[in-house]
Structure 1
């Protein structure tokens, strides 16, 4: 059996004669931070002070002892090098790299002594290629499309410009003899209750192993199989009877089966490969311009979020951090995570957790928002990178879709690329040619889609909402969130609304004295072009923009939650015409004003709580005119309830009411007309509608907040100890609209159980808070906000 020697310890980082300790995996920035050589670039405007790092060359060194274990071959294996590097051992160059998204293996048999990894600045590589291949259009002046590296390292409209270099994934020595498993491709299918695992094996042999008969065995689900062969490839298939199906969360369980492949020379084991597999089918229904994921024969309304790298320095994202963030997604009732194309192929930990948690994964290939040359050496790198990662990720049942790119097909048509490009290549050959061929060859069990947005062919505009996937950004950029209700796309793969991070996160990132919307520090943590102006424009349609920071902060976060409520409620209520919403975005990579539901410090914004409500199985949606209610049921069984409707005045008086029995079949939507006496007149400023069924409730106001005659909010507050911290009881003495407890104002680790809630006179809400002890009533009142006042 092969021996593995991790190369984790004893590394140093060198530059211009200076040396400091290096942590592997890691990057130059994290090593400089650990040594105290730079300030945290996430704080204040420190990002500007470390821009020089990305322009320099760096060298990592370690010593490799001679190997005397008796194996024929020793390989130096890097799971990830970022990005342009020359590797040498004992003074002999072993190889060069130019792709962050690939793993590398170099034969270093008999080698020992100093191991050096010399990194050239990614800027140097990208700018040289841009000069040679010609300029291509993109959203920023940074040359990210000329180097196979995480694009958002070069900055994005939510992320810092921190161009990294380093050994960002594990490195090791592998010692082996005769042969090793170079790749294992499990094609997992299921039919009639029987699961089939067809394993395509590729082996690499030493010179002494050439021509030797080998054997391979597999064990999965209590079934074993074996095959003998004498070449470089073999096929080994087993059938597992009565398999339990893997389902997305909310549709069933997530059973996983251990699969172990062993390579033999006679009876002597040479190498093993182990994974956990799941049996399920996934297809993409595109009939009549639809875009509907179908898992195990069941059409799914995807309740999704977009995922960006969780840290600008991705080597810092541990398995525990993945679990925390993905658990936050699950607790928000998310069932699909789209790995966005300006980031990375995430680590195996990410996909294994999605398998376990029942989160479907939509995986973009790493292309985003720019024209990409199809010339060498980029084309060869992209071919190799795609093959590496398709084979690496295909064992995961959570992976349900390969997607060619983010917004590049749309960009070609709408962003004035064609005049600038002329006859130059821009990536179409990747998305419509190379990548679908690779997926069809290596992983035919999963669907491929050319891009997002994409209408399925050039016969329609790439972002036509009536065909395929759609990105809805005109609303955020130009109009009001109420305009989400003007169309019903087939699948909304991106839409979002900005809000600042939580109060404690912004206070840490910019400093207490800089908590003002237009302070230099706050503006530095707002990367979107005209972002604050768009925030103000979007808020001013509903509220006067306040001068007070605390009120501004609350209203901006409220506006974000309401915007996403408007979009998801409307589109979900039109299932099955609309088959999914994927909110931009779940997470942040640093503390920033952005579209995220969870901020850069891992704190949940009010949007997170809103997603938890909107993505629950049951949802009530009042149509924009207020004349009907969509009763949405994504549960498997029917929902039978009495729909209660009340037309109320601002003082809490019930002016008219009705109860309508309704039964909604599983995975469907029913429409109920609002009785004539309960329909509000257009623009009504003193009345509102309350709709409830079982535990679900929603409100409809016919006037915008700035035009509505709210009474001053009055409520009582009490605080009592609880097992986890404290319990806050708020009792309304008037209508209290969108009450929100910002728990992190009570302590940086404090977490509340509830987001925004509207209370009628006499109603109460109990909010559990952990992480802050037992604050005083006055302290709690200082952390409570609502639309019609900040206290009682």
Structure 2
């Protein structure tokens, strides 16, 4: 290099000369630029993920030396009162998403094309955060650039997990410092990187072995790493371990937690109120059944036998336990649908797999509904976004980069406006809503009660107006304007209703949210149900109607993909489902529902 070289940086139509510090023939550049009214990068759920091109040229001949996209944003963490709430550009964010594994286990990360496929699928579902955990590996620049582009926040662990590291070993510390400084210098330039975390479960592991606080609060993660990051002027919030804080690191009511009460520990949804989760950086691990297309391509049939080695190889389990995560899923199938999974699998394996593909998503969706509307929890990341092998793994996306039914269902609870049905005991049900949009929402909340899943017995609506960040809880009886005993708690005679529907519509009547529940044991319809599927006038969608209230309607087709599936349907409702055909000819297939023992064939 010649010391007469001069450099200039160009950004947002402005040019700045860069001072070069020459040392022994090597030029070093470090500068500070001040810009006004820059476009801000936001997580995709809260605004556009604006990026700006920055280029470096040689001043004398304008030769382009380097260029990249940069992001402008501010990220802060509010830790008051034992919480952990991220704010981007002064806007509080409920972080919803999942933990990353690896893009391609055979290619150690995968191609940029495969990364884009997985991340785009996740982004379209409404995810706004991914955690790269300490049990995995640092990802490629392609990964973080895609997260910048797609508006996905990244919680980044350093690669330490579940061990007692020798913090008094000088050689080891020097090696760790180099790793931390190199990775922080590389990753801090990506706007999507929102949190740095020292480790995964190092504090929890020691605490669960009964060690005292001085042992499990490791100085490497509590003192050394944050000091190195501070010396580098790293601005992202830092946490020492995932989980951490609280009386013990695995306690939920303070700081960062790994919550598996609903899930591996077989708790009901009433445990959410007891546990008081503030931010779950891991949660909700289930053996999620892949899509029908993947089942057919990978196992040869739509309903493979789940006891075979080919299937069980893909089902996760904790080392040394006598159960796996399919047993966890079966527990909730029994609880939600009042069916014995063993008997169901014995008598009708196809229906067993259908209900299994739905139930994990249903449990996750109800959990997110609660957390997003209760005002305490500020984030929850499902344990595994993507599988690394075929089968019913933890991932919401399978090893072929296709969304699983669980993702179809849980994405309803990742929308900007959150809504939840609450059981308030003798007072009946209520509806809780949180407006996380960056603008006021105006519309109406409509409640319908049905008998025999067909006959409308109550129908009422109230106007709703919620400013940005506002919460509301309103009793069903207040909406109806009269006593309904819809949960049959007073038992004045036989129960009149078996289905409740709650719908949130905007001022134009467009459906924003829908929640439908059975009010008693889920009624199973036999053959007395008429379902029709017709093609839209434009041919790019199907119109689905039914004369009964149906739960988690599934459209199955060998030649057609559906933009939305596993949806609820009311009597007389016309549900428009956009389609993409995989081959020429009419869309053909079957339609079925969780609460319907039959199915209907369509060709249109």
Q: Matches of residues 285-684 of structure 1 in structure 2 within 5 Å?
A: 285-315=78-108, 317-374=110-167, 375=169, 378-414=172-208, 416=209, 418=211, 428-455=218-245, 460-486=247-273, 487-496=275-284, 497-512=286-301, 515-529=304-318, 530-531=323-324, 532-542=326-336, 543-545=339-341, 546-547=344-345, 548-575=348-375, 577-625=376-424, 626-675=428-477, 677-682=483-488
1:224 lines up with 2:224 in the alignment: no
Against the structure 1 CA distance between its residues 670 and 601, is the aligned structure 2 distance closer, same or farther, given a 3 Å change threshold?
A: same
Against the structure 1 CA distance between its residues 720 and 426, is the aligned structure 2 distance closer, same or farther, given a 3 Å change threshold?
A: same
Against the structure 1 CA distance between its residues 353 and 771, is the aligned structure 2 distance closer, same or farther, given a 3 Å change threshold?
A: same
Q: CA deviation at 1:370?
A: 4.2
Q: CA deviation at 1:567?
A: 0.7
TM-score by length of 2: 0.85
Q: Of 693, 697, 718, which aligns to 2:504?
A: 693
Q: Of 504, 523, 530, which aligns to 1:715?
A: 530
Distance between the aligned counterparts of 1:612 and 1:289, measured in 2? 28
Against the structure 1 CA distance between its residues 297 and 703, is the aligned structure 2 distance closer, same or farther, given a 3 Å change threshold?
A: same
Distance between the aligned counterparts of 2:94 and 2:316, measured in 1? 32
1:41 aligned partner: none
Conservation of the 8 A alpha-carbon contact between 1:738 and 1:758:
yes
Conservation of the 8 A alpha-carbon contact between 2:295 and 2:302:
no
Task: Name segments (4+ residues, structure 1) moved above 6 Å.
Answer: 267-271, 721-724, 774-777
Distance between the aligned counterparts of 2:502 and 2:113, measured in 1? 41
1:412-453 deviation per Cα after TM superposition (whole angstroms, max 9, x unaligned): 212x2749xx99x88923321232122212242211111221
Distance between the aligned counterparts of 2:350 and 2:143, measured in 1? 36
Single out whichever of 268-277 and 392-401 deviates more from structure 2: 268-277
Q: Of 575, 579, 596, which aligns to 1:769?
A: 579
2:492 aligned partner: none
Q: CA deviation at 1:599?
A: 0.9
1:121-148 deviation per Cα after TM superposition (whole angstroms, max 9, x unaligned): xxxxxxxxxxxxxxxxxxxxxxxxxxxx
- 1:476 match: secondary structure: coil
Aligned residue-pair number: 564
Q: CA deviation at 1:686?
A: 5.0
- 2:55 match: secondary structure: strand
Conservation of the 8 A alpha-carbon contact between 1:713 and 1:736:
no
Q: CA deviation at 1:788?
A: 2.4
Conservation of the 8 A alpha-carbon contact between 1:370 and 1:411:
yes
Against the structure 1 CA distance between its residues 389 and 652, is the aligned structure 2 distance closer, same or farther, given a 3 Å change threshold?
A: same
Q: CA deviation at 1:262?
A: 6.0
Conservation of the 8 A alpha-carbon contact between 1:491 and 1:579:
yes
Distance between the aligned counterparts of 2:10 and 2:42, measured in 1? 23
1:26-71 deviation per Cα after TM superposition (whole angstroms, max 9, x unaligned): xxxxxxxxxxxxxxxxxxxxxxxxxxxxxxxxxxxxxxxxxxxxxx
1:791 lines up with 2:591 in the alignment: no
Single out whichever of 687-696 and 676-685 deviates more from structure 2: 676-685
Q: Of 746, 751, 758, which aligns to 2:561?
A: 751
Conservation of the 8 A alpha-carbon contact between 2:314 and 2:389:
no
List gaps (5 residues or longer) in structure 1: 1-176, 179-211
Conservation of the 8 A alpha-carbon contact between 2:18 and 2:29:
no
Conservation of the 8 A alpha-carbon contact between 1:373 and 1:427:
no
1:195-248 deviation per Cα after TM superposition (whole angstroms, max 9, x unaligned): xxxxxxxxxxxxxxxxx6876543333131321423375532221222222222
Q: CA deviation at 1:652?
A: 2.0
1:738 aligned partner: 552
Q: CA deviation at 1:740?
A: 1.2
Q: CA deviation at 1:479?
A: 1.3
1:148-200 deviation per Cα after TM superposition (whole angstroms, max 9, x unaligned): xxxxxxxxxxxxxxxxxxxxxxxxxxxxx67xxxxxxxxxxxxxxxxxxxxxx
Q: CA deviation at 1:261?
A: 4.3
Against the structure 1 CA distance between its residues 661 and 788, is the aligned structure 2 distance closer, same or farther, given a 3 Å change threshold?
A: same
Distance between the aligned counterparts of 1:382 and 1:592, measured in 2? 37
Distance between the aligned counterparts of 2:538 and 2:132, measured in 1? 38
Conservation of the 8 A alpha-carbon contact between 2:561 and 2:581:
yes
Against the structure 1 CA distance between its residues 513 and 448, is the aligned structure 2 distance closer, same or farther, given a 3 Å change threshold?
A: closer
- 2:191 match: secondary structure: coil
Q: CA deviation at 1:641?
A: 2.2
List gaps (5 residues or longer) in structure 2: 490-494, 506-510
Against the structure 1 CA distance between its residues 216 and 432, is the aligned structure 2 distance closer, same or farther, given a 3 Å change threshold?
A: farther
Please tell me whether Structure 1 or Structure 2 has the larger radius of gyration of its CA atoms. Answer: 1
